[in-house]
Chain A
């Protein structure tokens, strides 16, 4: 499974757009890119999944360049309730997920 690298922490303010970039240089041809969100003492929650170009759903967008060696999760107009840890996973379509350390996002008023 491809290793991922993402920033350990990020700060933002309410109403701003937040972009979290994940590096996955060894991504395999059939790997999907998946992002999860986790609040303290809760299970991770699926945010978005993509294979190439751009994916958008009700809560986020995922941008994937042509070489697929990185991806960027974009959260529009964050609020205090978006304060959480965000995990980028690659090849995460099976029953075994390999979580990295994630990015701890702190949203301030």
Chain B
């Protein structure tokens, strides 16, 4: 089974621009979550989508938004980029392991640098 795929892997933007990141979950997984990781704040939850509906939201400003399509693929958008948005953005899809554990499988992430 293919894992979680995130594109692009690296991105460089300037302040004020907007960016869209993409995530393809593991086939059959309907839940997709997004996280931001920075050296100062660690790993922080952004939001979760399930069957095209946002089910959970973290404590981030409205500049961060997302959506999920009918094939469970998800996109995350950040508008009016700030220097502090430079981070590793991780996507995870949730499902059951071969042992029946309900876990999240993470992609390799998109490294966003805002100049």
Chain A contacts to B: CB under 8 angstroms: 32, 34, 41-46, 49, 57, 87, 92-102
Contact = CB atoms under 8 A, between A and B. Distances in A.
13 contacts: A41-B109, A43-B91, A43-B92, A44-B43, A49-B103, A92-B103, A93-B103, A94-B56, A95-B33, A95-B94, A97-B45, A99-B44, A101-B42
B20 to A, nearest CB: 19
The dominant DSSP class at the B interface is strand
Interface of B: 4, 31, 33, 35, 42-45, 48, 50, 55-56, 58, 88, 90-92, 94, 97, 99, 101-109, 111
Contacts of A41: 88, 109, 111
Contacts, number: 64
A33 B35 CA distance: 20
Contacts of A92: 103-104
Nearest to A93: B102
A41 B45 CA distance: 17
The dominant DSSP class at the A interface is loop
A99 B41 CA distance: 10
A100 B57 CA distance: 18
Contacts of B107: 43
A49 to B, nearest CB: 4
A45 B103 CA distance: 10
Given A46-B97, A97-B92, A100-B42, 20 more contacts: A34-B101, A34-B103, A43-B91, A43-B107, A43-B108, A43-B109, A44-B43, A44-B90, A46-B103, A49-B101, A92-B103, A93-B102, A93-B103, A94-B48, A95-B56, A96-B56, A96-B58, A97-B43, A99-B42, A102-B42
A98 B35 CA distance: 10
Contacts of A99: 35, 42-44
A34 B56 CA distance: 20
